[in-house]
Amino acid sequence: MSSTTSVDVMALAGELAQERMKPEWSTFSLELNEEQRELQAWVHDFAEKTIRPAGAEWDEKEEFPWPIVKEAAEIGLYGLDGTLSMFIDPTGLLTPIFLEEIFWGDAGIGMALQGTGLAVSAIFGQGTPEQINEWLPRCYGSASDPQVAAFCSSEPNAGSDVSNIRTTAKYDEATDEWVINGSKSWATNGGIADVHVVIATVDPTLGSRGHAAFVVPKSEIKGISQGAKVKKHGIRASHTADVNLDDARVPGRYLLGGKDKLDARLAKAREGKTSRGNASMATFEASRPAVGAMALGVARAAYDYALDYAKEREQFGRKIIENQAIAFKLANMKTELDAARLLVWRASWMGAGTLRGAPHKFENAEGSMAKYKASEVGVKVTEEAIQILGGNGYTREYPVERFHRDSKIMTIFEGTSEIQQLVIARTISGVRVP
């Protein structure tokens, strides 16, 4: 017979329990705090009562919903104060919570309310304190006269391949001005904004390392104009257009970060040394979990509608949700939604590490994971919602076809799903996968 040593299991468990009552053992929680819950309820109420009822109308019009933006500005849902409140958030969760609820209401109107965020992220992330103070208020305007801003990076031949940007910025030392020439494509708020943040190359030989970001206010600078407005498959309430720059002379102080910083970065690049990245990708990396939250909002709207429909719709003498084929679809939709949300929240929490005094390095491209997974889930869930509604789902009498159209862009802008996979693969392997 084998001998065993007697162990007081309950005493050992008690000691562990006592040890793990310390604060460091109780910091992980998936429960939202009071401020987060209040924001969620407030935004959802606006989305449900104001955005959702107007979604189909503005989708059909394909016009920018200025009345709704103004209403959001008047109650504080659109503007600098609200944006700063979400930026300065040690949990990182206020932004994805806000975006999920807004996009649950309608993605086109949601993008109209959120499109300014890319330009704001570029200024906030790359500008000097003086530039931040000068330009961020102008991006939003006031409650009585709201404004929008535009981030101009993509070009006809430079979408995912930002190294192929051909818009140039040449410094005129005699006047301390940058002369910008080129054309931008797919600019959210392009042309209807005053503040445009334009990515241009100052040294084409350096590829993406030779890029810089400039503030180009349309009200001050001659040579910037709106080109063709894009007629889109989805998010039609959001204004998307080409932006043309023809000898646009921009004061030297409108270069984000300043010339000394740019010169130092260019010198480093010319010596073959690595840098933190280029002007476009720095902005996109910060915004990718946010795009994931947008996709979640659209997907959740489709799931909610399909679930309610399945509980009411009768075929062959019973509710269609009583069929496994439908019930299992909904079970998978909900599971995928919740899994994607966890990835978005993780990346958002990691991104806010600096505010907690503990910066997190994205060692496995967690931001790209969040955007990739959530955007693909958005397309799949909205497609399944159409399938659950059958023929009704394919008509404009029901909103799920619009949800599906709106969801697709999430797999494309700010880095396609293929680019996200490439980023993840390179990061986890350490190999520059071609």
Q: Which residue has the tokens 């080409």?
A: 242
Q: How far apart are CA 326 and CA 310, in angstroms?
A: 8
* CA Rg value for the chain: 24
HSE-CB at 205 with a 13 A cutoff on CA atoms is 6
Asked if 59 contacts 402 with a C-beta cutoff of 8 angstroms, the reply is: yes
> What share of residues in the chain are helix, strand, coil (percent, to 5)?
60, 15, 30
Q: What is the largest CA-CA distance in the chain?
A: 96
In the set 19, 322, 414, 418, the catalytic residue is 414
Asked if 291 contacts 413 with a C-beta cutoff of 8 angstroms, the reply is: yes
Q: Which residue has the tokens 């935004």?
A: 43
Q: Is 173 one of the catalytic residues?
A: no
Q: How far apart are CA 155 and CA 165, in angstroms?
A: 7
Element holding 369 (H helix, E strand): helix 366-389
Q: How far apart are CA 410 and CA 416, in angstroms?
A: 8
Classify residue 378 by its DSSP letter.
H
Tokens of 226: 């709106």
Asked if 120 contacts 109 with a C-beta cutoff of 8 angstroms, the reply is: no
- Pairing mode of beta strands 224-229, 240-251: antiparallel
Return the beta strands (E) in 66-157 as ranges: 149-152
- Pairing mode of beta strands 318-319, 314-315: antiparallel
Q: How far apart are CA 279 and CA 195, in angstroms?
A: 17
Tokens of 13: 């468990």
- Active site positions, annotated: 414
